[in-house]
Amino acid sequence: MTASGRDRAIEDSLLRPVFETGRGVWITVGLLVAVIAYGGYQWLLQLQDGMVIAGMNQPVYWGLYITNYVFFIGISHAGTLISAILRLTDAEWRRPITRAAEAITVFALLMGSSNVLWHLGRPELIYVPLLSPQPLSPLIWDVACISVYLLGSITYLYLPLIPDLAILRDRSPRLRWFYRLLALGWQGTSRQHQLLERAIGVMAVAIIPIAVSVHTVVSWVFAMSLVPMWHSAIFGPYFVVGAIFSGIAALLIAMAILRKTFHLEAFFRPIHFNNLSLLMLTMACLWFYFTFAEHLTVWYGNEPDEIAVLNARLYGPFSTAFWSMITCCFIIPLGILSFKRTRTVIGTVVASCAVVIGMWLERYIIVISSASYPRSETMWDGGVYTPSLVEISLTAAEFAAFVLLFIVFAKLFPLVSIWEIKEGDERDIDAVTDLLELESPGGRAKT
């Protein structure tokens, strides 16, 4: 097949999900919209009646919303970070991954930030921190860093999208005006490519410290307080590691789903899953190292206020969640990913699901267990927090919206970077061979 023929095959494959929508997608969208609508309805109830219908109380002022906030902001890290690092190190196997990763970042940031709306007692005043910020508040640092990161991520998603937008401008049966507008007159000249690559390169370098700063300041919302087991010097790097960890897992799951749903097996190949999962295994070990160090120092130090929290986690009310977290974040990934035999696509996905669950539990435990055992010699034997319907509905709605955003994105833009694949296929014969097999008559039947 000629070069242009290969190019065409690549484009066809990657644009098919944009142009064709199966019934399964519509059903999924319907379900997601229903979940989101119900969450929206619950939120309206919360606006009307107040936080009283949520499950938080004194002393557990922060609940599921903050958990989801940290969780989603965490997930946002893998995307951009992976994409940026892999670009900078010029790793070839990054090519199919980057778009999905960058999209995850933006969507996760949006979903994470939405939690602020659910969490505030007076969400109509959400603009006030922008008008009169108190600069010593870690929450203001969050606002600043996340805003910059969101802008940066959108830019970093958009820039590598431009050449694909041009393809869509030329080939899409609908919304041509939209693509034309966004494509900014891209013609694919070498000069344009040069500018683009440089811009992307700059962003790749810039986005990394921004990303690191984001989850560091998110962790500092906790670490800067005196709450037992929040006030820890390692929270900054601990959260960043956890963010990357959970982000990679989310990315792997997203890749697996996209691969299956949109028949992108040629692009998301075992090597990608293998390499990312090795990265995830590394992060699992790093995460475990930090967790172990954190809990060991607390145990050894024996400071009573902190021991109360520790005991609650180890064998008190939070023990089920805690040991599940250890299992999901460390034991399962270690078990599956350490051995090549189990480090398959399926194995990777299973491990990633465990990690996502485990990391969500980690956020939950950090927020709730410390909040439940305040320093004050109070009359409480520990606060009791039970997530309420509105919090659970909004959590479900967020996850649904996250997925829906992906689907919408997939309907507007190619989920794999077409021009980068084309650029890479000159260097990656295996990928092209598989692709040709796939595109040949009867090839589809083999997968």
Give the nearer residue to other proteins in terms of CB position, either 243 or 371.
371
Give the nearer residue to other proteins in terms of CB position, either 27 or 125.
125
Give the nearer residue to other proteins in terms of CB position, either 187 or 376.
376
Give Cα 298 to chain centroid, integer Å.
Answer: 30
Q: How many CB atoms lie within 10 A of CB 338?
A: 14
Give the nearer residue to other proteins in terms of CB position, either 379 or 445.
379
Q: Which residues contact 271 (CB under 8 A, 6 or more apart)?
A: 93
Contacts within 8 Å (CB) and 24+ apart, 236-239: 237/290, 238/290, 238/291, 238/294, 239/70, 239/74, 239/215
Give the nearer residue to other proteins in terms of CB position, either 227 or 252.
227
Least separation, in Å, of the C-beta of 63 and other proteins? 10
Q: What does the binding site for other proteins look like in residue numbers (CB under 8 A)?
A: 49-52, 54-62, 119-123, 125-126, 128-129, 132-134, 136-140, 143, 221, 224-227, 371, 374-381, 383-384
Give the nearer residue to other proteins in terms of CB position, either 24 or 121.
121
Give the nearer residue to other proteins in terms of CB position, either 91 or 130.
130
Give the nearer residue to other proteins in terms of CB position, either 143 or 397.
143
Burial of 329 (0-12, 13-18, 19+ CB in 10 A): buried
Burial of 191 (0-12, 13-18, 19+ CB in 10 A): exposed
Give the nearer residue to other proteins in terms of CB position, either 382 or 424.
382
Q: Which residues contact 422 (CB under 8 A, 6 or more apart)?
A: 7, 10
Least separation, in Å, of the C-beta of 235 and other proteins? 15
Give the nearer residue to other proteins in terms of CB position, either 373 or 419.
373
Give the nearer residue to other proteins in terms of CB position, either 14 or 394.
394
CB burial readout 260-296, b (16+ within 10 A) else e: ebbebbbbbbeebbbebbebbbebbbbbbebbeebbe
Least separation, in Å, of the C-beta of 377 and other proteins? 6
Least separation, in Å, of the C-beta of 109 and other proteins? 19
Give the nearer residue to other proteins in terms of CB position, either 61 or 93.
61
Least separation, in Å, of the C-beta of 120 and other proteins? 5
Task: Say if residues 252 and 349 touch (Cβ distance below 8 Å).
Answer: yes
